[in-house]
Amino acid sequence: MDSRRNFIGKFAGGLAGALAAPGAVSGAGERIRLGLIGAGARGMQLAREAVASGKGKLVAAADIYPARLEQCRAAFADARSYGDYRELVRDPSVEAVIIATPPHQHASQFVAALEAGKPVYQERVMAFTVEHAGRMRAAWERTGQVVQIGHQTCCSGQVRDAAEWVAAGLLGKVTAIRAHSFRNTPRGKAPWFRPAHPGMTEAAIDWKGFLGEAPARPFDPNRYVNWRYFLDYSGGQVFESMSQQLAFWVKVLDLGVPRAATMRGGVYLWKDGREAPDTMSVTLEFEEELMFSWDSGMGNSEPGTGELVLGTDGTIVRGQQIRYLPQKVNRPGEMERLGRSPARPRAAMENFLDAVAGVSAPECPFEIGFRVSVACRMALESLHRGRPVYWDPDRGEIV
């Protein structure tokens, strides 16, 4: 247990020296040459963040839909275009890779990039399944490449505030985290919906490339553009929102993989063909004797998104701001505290580029991504199986 608890700290501490190896990236003062896999809205946003930081330059992009590559060329005229991500990772001019594709594609692209000697910024959730997570771990351990997982919350100023309060012992024994994420949309406008454009045809889209390892299905532009609806490619809100909230506290409290998970819910509101639940409740039980509960819905925006971390000596309330509230029964003289650490724009991307350059260690390293993605898959497996599920650490399996 001690070795697991110290893993992230040891990894971060030992990484800086490994990153300093000569010849790994561009010379001092030069921008890191980046390749983007997945030139959709999120991928383009990440590419813009990298360029705006002054530390990265987009030199190549890969996408299975040519129209997205055309949009990318309009924004980044010097970037080469590839229809197959494997061609991009073989490009010797690409020094590091950003992956922003649907989760079911992550493992194959991540492994290919690492084995080609490229550091990776992997957008969340890191792994779609436990088998994918294991495959990704093996490649990461084998190659020793820099990896940053796109849980941007782990690079926020709020992490520093929360970690400071925890280190000072202001919470006492934490036994529960109550989290929530609720949203709403105008009547008739379904959350996540994107229209299938006329150009999204079987001739234009590499459908086999989209499916990857997912079950074979006839071409369907709706599945392509609204992949978040379908459990072959997405974990729905569990992947989109719970993962972000959980990652924050996995980092701050150094939580491991849950020992048990229970999820209930379904499509109660949006009867538009989606499979991913729009209303759900998840409970995760950790070896650290802590329960993480998360409730989510897409039909009302109250009470928004946030967490309550409940300790014997105090509470942390996190939303747009983060604050500490003492439990007066145990800390009668303690005062409330408001987080003060500033939020840095583009913090996660800048941290990745600094890590590639050998300046710092990743603030959301592989291990956090691994633990969070396994926890998310456990929740979904509980929903699928209709019962609680458990983590077998010896076999590395959900049972």
pLDDT per residue over 117-131, tens digit each?
999 999 999 999 999
Instruction: Kindly give the pairing relationship between strand 147-150 and strand 120-123.
Output: parallel
Confidence of residue 182 (pLDDT cuts 50, 70, 90): very high
- SS3 of 369, please? helix
CATH architecture designation of domain 159-193+228-341+374-398: 2-Layer Sandwich (3.30)
Residue 343's pLDDT is what? 87
Q: Is residue 9 predicted with pLDDT exceeding 70? A: no
Looking at the chain, the whole-number percentage of residues with pLDDT higher than 90 is 92
- Per residue in 86-119, pLDDT (tens digit) is 999 999 999 999 999 999 999 999 999 999 999 9
Contact yes or no for 88/61 (Cβ under 8 A):
yes
Strands (E), 47-140: 56-62, 80-82, 96-99, 120-123
DSSP-assigned beta bridge partners for residue 326:
314
Pairing of strands 397-398, 279-286: unpaired
Dihedral of the alpha carbons of 320, 229, 398, 292, in degrees to the nearest 10:
20
Instruction: Return the domain boundaries, the chain.
Output: 2-154+347-366, 159-193+228-341+374-398
pLDDT at 357 over 70: yes
Pick the CATH number of 2-154+347-366 from 3.60.20.10, 3.40.50.80, 3.40.50.920, 3.40.50.720: 3.40.50.720
- The Cα-based distances of 235 to 194, 203, 250 in angstroms read 17, 28, 19
Q: How many CA atoms lie within 13 A of 57 on its CB side?
A: 15
